[in-house]
Copies of this chain bind each other. A is one copy, B any other.
């Protein structure tokens, strides 16, 4: 039976990415060797890394003065790398969920941290608005998409200081204005590649302004200088990322992806709002187009486990909600075909008829 992959991350990748990666595990670029066992300094892999970084610059319209890095350690390592490199006197953070809160915790090791607003008291069901950022902040950090709570900031906020964003779960889902950011980072395992590589886009002019010594591996300048080959990069995840990026370009780039994403999200939210059994958990104006969180309506609470089994039997994988929210979460990243969203909607309708 066809499986519909709604995992929150690691999550669905395009058939194009999977097919080409499978082929490279057998024989990479005609080398007669597997992508699993080729040197990162082989000319064939250097070409992969170069093309991937160039495509990221092209797709996100990255201005001059920025470098694209492939790093190890996950977005969680960026929670400390960002303040290590950028926090001089004070940084401002917006608390919109578990990952934002983890980033705040790490920043506090390094200096004065201003939390400008938080929706924690409402279990992060909305994005705080009307907050003020101190103009003397070194940067304003926010999480564009809150994977666990299904809220998203689909804009580049104007706050009076440079932006730093964790875009792990919605990068490449829409156009962004990179020039407003000092650092953008994203764990690859949602919209780019299998787990194991983290993308960072760093403004070189933002570096070198802190007094503290920075361990070599945690200094963005190390990786900029060596074009992400200071140490051995995660070869296979970068190869897979290149496949995804080529597919994005073929589809028409991030503006085209945004159009498709809005359409897919609307199909699913419309059903959640219409179906008597379900309701959404995130504030309507802040709904994520990547992670759609919903629960059973009050009077149908007892059907939760049954719907989970019913949907599993219909081929839906990974729709159980995170324990912080409960209920269900359908992650509908870039690679999720509209047909899978429609299949989930059909399953919801069918389940409604039974009750």
Q: Contact residues of A with B, CB < 8 Å?
A: 1-3, 5, 7-13, 17-18, 21-22, 25-26, 31-40, 42, 71-77, 79-80, 102, 105-106, 109, 187, 189, 193-197, 213, 215-218, 230-237, 240, 317-318
Contacts and interface: CB of A to CB of B under 8 A. Distances in A.
Contacts of A5: 33, 37
A73 B32 contact: no
A189 to B, nearest CB: 6
Nearest to A222: B76
A243 to B, nearest CB: 10
A105 B9 CA distance: 36
Copies in the complex: 2
Contacts of A22: 22, 25-26, 34
A11 B26 contact: no
B195 A233 contact: yes
Given A22-B26, A31-B317, 6 more contacts: A3-B32, A7-B38, A7-B42, A10-B36, A76-B217, A189-B232
A194 B1 CA distance: 31
Which of A1, A3, A72, A74: most chain B CB closer than 10 A? A72
B73 A39 contact: no
Contacts of A318: 39, 42
Contacts of A79: 215-217
